[in-house]
Amino acid sequence: MLSFIGVTMAFVGPFTKLGLHRSSVRFYSQFDDTNSGKPLSVFYTTLFLGAMGICILIAVLFWGIIAFLGPERVGGEEMYELFWLTSLLIALGGGPGMFISFLRVEEKAKLFTSIQAVSLTIKLALSIVLVMVLLVGVKALYLAAIYLQCVTVTLAIIVLWRQKKLILASFSSVFLFEALRFGLPLVPAELANEISGMGDRFLIQYFMGMEAVGIYSVGYSMTSHLKSFLTVMMFALTPMYVKIWEEHGRIKTQEFLSSVLDYYLMLGIPAIVIFAYFGGDIVVLFASEKYAAAREIIPYLTVPLLLHGPISIYTAGLFVNKKTTTVLYCTLSAGLLNLALNVVFIPPMGLVGAAIATFISYVVLIASVNFFSSRYLTIRIDFLALFKYIAASVAAVLLCRLIHIEFFGVVIMKVLIGVLNYSVLLIIIDRKIRQKARVVFEFSLLRLRK
């Protein structure tokens, strides 16, 4: 039930944003100049109020559709109530969502991470109390999320008001329409991306039933959480390369993005290899043997999802040149391909077929956006370094296979040992890594002495 509602909301999500979160990244530099004559309050006020208004409008439309369909057509009374609570989440989501975008353009990654960590902790604590103590049931997750959204939107308004960034008189309909004109082509692109990533759930339900959706969603979610962890470093990437593009031009932007991609691959390649090998055991550890069937799909999902992580790098050339329509075509093509492949693969191959369809569609998406974006920015890959990352990752996993002890949670220990093995092997075989490690060590030693 949770997975089905989550997938439904994933398709509604792009319409609640209308591309404004992407517009905030692209247009921020035009206001971040005291000599430009464009007050920052216009930027913050227009986008914040615009985002809130759009979310409220979409929430009303969403609830109208749910009310029109009625409980019988949405899965029963319980699902009907959950969708009603979800509409409240949509209405409240505009302010917090745009506030997070503001942190991104301001490159406040530490504050963003802190807010996310605190929010998740509070949401988890509230959910546990509501489920285990008050026995509210599944609704507890949504009630906790609604409470958290109320607190977050209130704090966002207070913070922006005190910083004199939220001034009602600064609202500009002209800038709002300009931002929407840039962001709207990205709505179908995001929608197509959701089709590529989650559309298979509907087809899995059609061919295999709701239980199969749950098993597939667990495997997919585990890999997505790992991807989210690795892409934290990408939080402030887009505003950074947009600023470099405008101040230093193409060459410096290419060098910066190539360097960031190399760092991501240094972390992403071992994550792919280690999680592809141990991911099934991790799923069983956290989700129980009921979801053991997710083991066989983990390797197929790990590779495309983690390689998709630096998508903001692959599309950088299109983004800085405002070629967002090309992104739409690429993501739409990949999404439709995913659906077609699911129809072909699921009946004979089951969940593995859905995972293979996801693998192929993501590879096509990454290849296509890279092809078109390279006309404007060329991102270079250090293939020798890439080979070293792969070799060290495979060797780390092979060394972990020598561990034959068994106890509850041993897989976590093996993963940690695998990460340690990879780090040591990479330091041994890569001179650049040794130099960077030495700099970090000397800096840490200097800080300790102080």
Tokens (6 digits) for 126 = 């509230």
- Counting runs of H as helices and runs of E as strands, what totals does the chain give? 20, 0
Residue 195: the pLDDT is 66
Domain limits, the chain: 1-171, 185-381, 388-450
Residue 36: the pLDDT is 54
Q: How far apart are CA 271 and CA 284, in angstroms?
A: 18
**Residue 162 and residue 1 in contact, taking contact as beta carbons nearer than 8 Å:** no
Helix (H) or strand (E) holding 64: helix 40-74
**Residue 299 and residue 358 in contact, taking contact as beta carbons nearer than 8 Å:** no
**Rounded (5°) CA angle 265-99-184:** 75
- Look at the pTM and tell me if it is higher than 0.85: no
**95: Cα within 13 Å, side-chain hemisphere:** 19
Cα distance from N-terminal residue to C-terminal residue, the chain:
55
Q: How far apart are CA 245 and CA 184, in angstroms?
A: 23
Residue 178 CB partners (closer than 8 Å, separation 6+): 27
**Residue 87 and residue 62 in contact, taking contact as beta carbons nearer than 8 Å:** yes
Amino acid at 353: G
Maximal CA-CA distance, the chain:
69
Tokens (6 digits) for 182 = 């840039």
Q: How far apart are CA 243 and CA 234, in angstroms?
A: 15
The closest of 308, 283, 322 to 360, measured between CA atoms, is 308
**37: Cα within 13 Å, side-chain hemisphere:** 0
For 48, 182, 282, 297, the CA distances from 206, given in Å and listed in that order, are 39, 37, 28, 19
Q: How far apart are CA 215 and CA 211, in angstroms?
A: 6
Q: What is the pLDDT along the chain (450 residues), one digit of tens a residue?
A: 676 777 777 777 777 788 788 787 777 777 765 555 577 888 888 888 888 888 889 888 988 888 888 877 776 777 888 888 888 888 888 888 888 888 877 777 667 667 767 777 776 777 677 666 665 667 777 787 888 888 888 888 888 888 888 888 888 888 888 888 877 777 776 776 666 666 677 788 778 877 888 788 888 878 877 777 777 666 667 777 877 887 888 888 888 888 888 888 888 888 888 888 888 788 877 777 787 888 888 888 888 878 888 888 888 888 788 777 787 788 888 888 888 999 999 999 988 998 899 889 888 988 998 888 888 888 888 888 888 888 888 988 888 877 776 666 677 888 888 888 888 888 888 777 777 666 656 655 665 565
* CB neighbour class for 395 (10 Å; exposed up to 12, middle 13-18, buried from 19): middle
**Residue 282 and residue 411 in contact, taking contact as beta carbons nearer than 8 Å:** yes
Tokens (6 digits) for 192 = 């197509």
Residue 345: the pLDDT is 93
Rounding to the nearest 10 degrees, give the CA dihedral for residues 56, 58, 62, 64.
70
